[in-house]
Structure 1
Amino acid sequence: MATEPDAFPKALLARAHPPAVAEALYTERVVKRPLYIRATSPQPSARATRRKELNARKEKARARSTLKPRPLSAAKKRALGLLEIPKAQQKYEIYEGLHKLWAGYMAEILGLNGDGAKAFVTPGSSGQQLASADMHGAVMEIVRSRCPSRVGLKGIVVRDTKFTIELITEKNRVKAVPKEHTVFRFEVPVPGKEDGDEKRPLVFEILGEQFQTRGPERANRKFRMHYQPDL
């Protein structure tokens, strides 16, 4: 036997309320109940759109960072031996060509080439350029040190680190010399001749403690002259 679809709610209301109240409740709460209709795909707000785009960019950047190889740490470089000069390459004659390139590089920095060559090189005119120059390839000699056994050591600079200078000597030995409490001397050849003889080279001395920075970092450093009480 078929029943009306509203028979069940009416029967429940009749059991709890008088007939007049049950009929009023059914009319107000069931028949006239509003039905709210919302779109199935509402238009996203501008804030939600920006957040979605930001998350997409973050995901792309994260994916690129995982694919990009990370630089090796100092410990891994030491473990792989990347900071060591192979025994077969520890020969003085290999770096003599580097010294010739360095001599030309220093002559250009100090303005010793060409017709407009400087007559005099002074700390005020060329001190900053000289202090910030790259020393790889220079022939350096230790003239003062708190360790007497290092005095007189001479060789070509093969590595200039923050706290040490490594030299390759004429006996094909690599020596690491700390910059602290050490005075280094090097010469810059002057191109040309004077009275048929080669011009005398320019001789410079540097305090190792003032050079306790890496080569690229010295380019923007300001050097100041002051007394060194420990030498």
Structure 2
Amino acid sequence: MSDPVQFSYVEAFLQKTIPSLNDSKLISMKSTLRNKPIMLVAEKKAKKSKRKPRKRLRMTKRILAKPTNSAYSSYGRLRSLWKEYISNLLDEYMAVKAGGQQNADLKCVQDILLKADYHGADITVADTPCRTMKGISGTVLQETKNIFLICTKDNKLRRIPKSQTIFTFEHPPGYRVTLFGSQFCFKPAHRLTKRFNKNPTLKELLK
């Protein structure tokens, strides 16, 4: 049962805020409000946040530094540094091959190639579903999870998707290395913890 003092206050409040309220309506309203909590102060509605979803916000704030120089000849020093870098990584394997041993550790070489940095590599698109990109060659200037940005020999910047694309590069003395781009669809930093499938099928390499 409600407190008489509290209810008399509510009755006085109604008569004060609604002077034209007659007795019958007052009685009806009193019975409706009995034992019912009343908000005497209007509650402000919370404004809907206009913030963008976090994923979209990250995408809009992401800035990729696109090289402004598209002259192939300008990156000769970069190519030289990369050749020296990849030679140092593969020296041990090349020594084994040069010695004539047949049981070379190809799995070790695969892991090295997967984790290597390809900025500065001179690569060629050997095969791809996109016919217009087949045969393109140039220097890798930027790598993301899904693309290589290369400067071609005709001084153009091209974005080459990794998925379903086969790349090759030459490595002295006379080696041609083939890379299946689908196995490189990781951020460069994340490739350090990845491994090739033990015996991948052609379908797995090209998916």
Return the TM-score normalized by structure 1. 0.56
Matching of residue 206 in structure 1 with residue 188 in structure 2? no
Aligned to 2:147: 164
Aligned with residue 217 of structure 1, among 171, 190, 193: 190
Q: How far did 1:201 drift?
A: 2.6
> 2:82–2:121: 8 Å Cα contact kept in structure 1?
yes
Q: Equivalences for 1:1-231 in 2 at 5 Å?
A: 73-78=58-63, 82-86=64-68, 89-111=69-91, 118-120=95-97, 122-189=105-172, 200-224=173-197, 225-229=199-203, 230=206
Q: Distance in 2 between matches of 1:201 and 1:74?
A: 43
Q: How far did 1:75 drift?
A: 2.2
Task: Give the letter for the 1:227 counterpart.
Answer: T
The aligned length equals 142
- In structure 2, the CA distance between the partners of 1:131 and 1:148, relative to structure 1 (3 Å rule), is same
Task: Give the letter for the 1:168 counterpart.
Answer: C
Alpha carbon RMSD of aligned pairs, Å? Answer: 2.2
> 1:77–1:83: 8 Å Cα contact kept in structure 2?
no
Return the TM-score normalized by structure 2. 0.62
Q: Distance in 2 between matches of 1:228 and 1:180?
A: 13
> 1:187–1:201: 8 Å Cα contact kept in structure 2?
yes
Q: Distance in 2 between matches of 1:173 and 1:211?
A: 23
Determine helix, strand or coil for the equivalent of 1:141: strand
Task: Give the letter for the 1:107 counterpart.
Answer: S
Q: Distance in 1 between matches of 2:175 and 2:115?
A: 17
Q: Distance in 2 between matches of 1:97 and 1:73?
A: 34
Structure with bigger gyration radius: 1
Q: Could you give the per-residue CA deviations for residues 152-185 of structure 1, whole angstroms, max 9, x where no partner exists?
A: 0000001111000111011110000111111000
Q: How far did 1:127 drift?
A: 1.7
What percentage of residue pairs aligned between the two structures are identical?
25
Structure 2: which 5+ residue stretches go unaligned? 1-56, 98-103
Task: Give the letter for the 1:84 counterpart.
Answer: K
Q: How far did 1:125 drift?
A: 3.5
Determine helix, strand or coil for the equivalent of 1:209: helix
Q: Distance in 1 between matches of 2:94 and 2:154?
A: 36
Structure 1: which 5+ residue stretches go unaligned? 1-71, 190-199
